[in-house]
């Protein structure tokens, strides 16, 4: 029994040791792999716009050159530089908020009031894009423990998408309402929709449904990843439902607090 017991015990220790070692190693390795993928993806995303800036600059510098062609190239460069600047801000945001958020800075805020200011901003964009933007805000306040700027950014990203992926003449609805001890935010559009096979991936970083369509709208596939990161930091959840060519509904749920 003794001779049998020793290897068994050693074996158990060995397995336990390996198991614990595996547990300790895995998050580090995963974090490293994520960082590597993130860096590779980010570099890849920056490569195309930088190449486009270079080629436009080269054409603009080629003699002889008429003024309108030169202006066209410079405007292209300006447009690409603006979208690169957005990409870099988003990358910095994700890098900075990689770890847990500092929830000690979160305050009790009235979601309805915060959304009212966002509505004003998006109402102007709706007019410019010929979209109907219909907000449904409740009379009573809904309190959350939150960072107002982050929350505004998360919901803003959903509204930006709804506006981006809904053709002219379409409708975007923003609904805020209580559901038990939760506050719900819904952003609904009757735009182009998302294919069922893409739906599970849209919250992944750099994921875009199809490159041609995304290139047309100039996105980088980071808006939803950022929104999800913010919402989860607030103890909330985000889900998406969509029917291709009919529209999409994004829903956020947050735990409510007493004032
Ligand atoms: P992007 O900057 O490309 O819009 P997001 O992370 O915000 O990146 O969204 C990821 C992808 O999900 C988009 O490229 C788009 O294909 C799809 N998507 C997001 N919101 C909508 C929507 N409201 N309607 C249709 N497609 C959407």
Which pLDDT belongs to residue 10? Answer: 35
Q: Closest Cα to atom 11, ligand 1: which residue?
A: 208
Q: Distance, CA 208 to ligand 1 centroid (Å)?
A: 6
Structure tokens, 139: 């009379």
Residue 248 Cβ contacting ligand 1 at under 6 Å: yes
Burial of 79 (0-12, 13-18, 19+ CB in 10 A): middle
How far apart (Å, rounded) are the C-alpha atoms in residues 168 and 16?
Answer: 61
| Better pLDDT: 5 or 245 | 245
Structure tokens, 255: 């735990």
Which pLDDT belongs to residue 8? Answer: 34
Burial of 211 (0-12, 13-18, 19+ CB in 10 A): exposed
Nearest ligand 1 atom to alpha carbon 209: 16
Q: Any idea what DSSP says for residue 166?
A: S
Provide mean pLDDT across the span 74-99: 86
Q: Closest Cα to atom 16, ligand 1: which residue?
A: 209
Q: 142-153: per-residue pLDDT in tens?
A: 999 999 999 999
Q: Is the pTM of this model over 0.95?
A: no
pLDDT band for position 216 (50/70/90)? low
The chain-wide mean pLDDT, for the chain, equals 85
pLDDT of 75 > 50? The answer is yes
Alpha-helix residue ranges (DSSP H) falling in the chain: 2-61, 67-96, 111-128, 148-164, 211-217, 223-233
Q: Distance, CA 203 to ligand 1 centroid (Å)?
A: 9
Q: Closest Cα to atom 7, ligand 1: which residue?
A: 223
Provide mean pLDDT across the span 208-225: 76
Say what the ipTM of the complex is. Answer: 0.98
Structure tokens, 259: 């004032």
pLDDT of 23 > 60? The answer is no
Q: Distance, CA 256 to ligand 1 centroid (Å)?
A: 28
Provide mean pLDDT across the span 219-230: 91
Residue 222 Cβ contacting ligand 1 at under 6 Å: yes
Residue 155 Cβ contacting ligand 1 at under 6 Å: no
Question: Between the ranges 56-65, 82-91, 148-157, where is the mean pLDDT highest?
Answer: 148-157
Q: Distance, CA 195 to ligand 1 centroid (Å)?
A: 11
Nearest ligand 1 atom to alpha carbon 223: 7
Could you tell me if 195 and 209 are in contact, meaning their C-beta atoms sit under 8 angstroms apart? yes
Q: Distance, CA 71 to ligand 1 centroid (Å)?
A: 31
């Amino acid at each position: 029994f003794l001779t049998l017991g020793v290897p068994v015990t050693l074996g158990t220790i060995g397995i336990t040791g390996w198991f614990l070692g595996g547990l300790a190693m895995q998050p580090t390795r995963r974090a490293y792999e994520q960082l590597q993928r993130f860096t590779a993806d980010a570099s890849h995303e920056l490569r195309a716009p930088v190449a486009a800036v270079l080629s436009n600059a080269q054409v603009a510098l080629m003699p002889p050159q008429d003024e309108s062609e030169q202006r066209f190239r410079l405007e292209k460069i300006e447009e690409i530089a603006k979208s690169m600047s957005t990409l870099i801000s988003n990358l910095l945001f994700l890098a900075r908020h990689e770890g847990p958020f500092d929830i000690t800075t979160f305050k009790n805020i009235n979601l309805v009031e915060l959304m009212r200011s966002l509505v004003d901003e998006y109402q102007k964009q709706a007019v410019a894009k010929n979209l109907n933007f219909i907000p449904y805000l409740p009379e009573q306040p809904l309190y959350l423990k939150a960072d107002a700027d982050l929350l505004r950014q998360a919901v803003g990203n959903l509204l930006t998408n709804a506006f981006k992926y809904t053709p002219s003449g379409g409708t975007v609805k923003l609904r805020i309402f209580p559901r038990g001890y939760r506050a719900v935010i819904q952003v609904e559009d009757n735009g182009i929709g998302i294919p069922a096979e893409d739906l599970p991936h849209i919250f992944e970083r750099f994921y875009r449904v199809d490159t041609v369509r995304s290139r047309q709208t100039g996105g980088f596939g980071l808006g939803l990843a950022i929104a999800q990161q913010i919402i989860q930091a607030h103890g909330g959840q985000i889900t998406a439902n969509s029917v291709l060519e009919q529209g999409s509904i994004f829903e956020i749920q947050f735990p409510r607090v007493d004032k």
